[in-house]
Amino acid sequence: MIRILFVCHGNICRSPMAESVFSFLLKERKIDDISCASAAAHSDEIGNTPHYGTREKLKKEGIPLVPHRARLMTKADGEDFDLLIGMDEYNVRDMKRIVGEKNAHKVHLLLEYAGSNRPIADPWYTGDFDETFEDVMTGCKALLNALRNEDL
């Protein structure tokens, strides 16, 4: 089983969107040897449900929201997950600090799998959940394709 953790700043916008999109893609393709979850790099939103913009965008796209409450990423996540996927360079920096040098090699940007090192814009600030969704979908599809073509 390959385990993936999606991470953003507060775990209420981008990472739960990625978790829901990736879970949807796994179910759609009948893949049961990969799983995912999401977490926050900071404690600002711990315990909160996903942002209404994330909930509404997923609903509009016909993608079920994975039941979720924001949680903080831990050092143990570096051991428990095979890939740690951040949404922007700040997430990546924080994630590497949290998991330490031993597991820093597991940390990647989501759009890296789509051939870009561009961050996924935070809709908390931009208000543009459509753009964020498109980037998340592109990254999740590319990540899944990469996982199906290579072993970790």
Per-residue pLDDT of 36-85, as tens digits, reads 999 999 999 999 999 999 999 999 999 999 999 999 999 999 999 999 99
Asked if 44 is an active-site residue, the reply is no
Domain boundaries, the chain: 2-149
- The CATH code belonging to domain 2-149 is 3.40.50.2300
Is 113:31 a contact under the CB 8 Å cutoff? Answer: no
Asked if 36 is an active-site residue, the reply is no
- Does the pLDDT of residue 27 top 80, yes or no? yes
pLDDT tens for residues 97-120?
999 999 999 999 999 999 999 999
Band of pLDDT at residue 149, cut at 50, 70 and 90: confident
Q: Which residues lie below 8 Å from residue 30, measured CB to CB, with a gap of 6+?
A: none
Coarse DSSP helix, strand, coil percentages of the chain, rounded to the nearest 5 percent: 50, 15, 35
Band of pLDDT at residue 150, cut at 50, 70 and 90: low
What pLDDT shows up at residue 151? 46
Asked if 8 is an active-site residue, the reply is yes
Is 20:38 a contact under the CB 8 Å cutoff? Answer: no
Candidates 14, 55, 135, 140; catalytic one: 14
Candidates 77, 88, 94, 122; catalytic one: 122
Mean pLDDT for the chain overall: 96
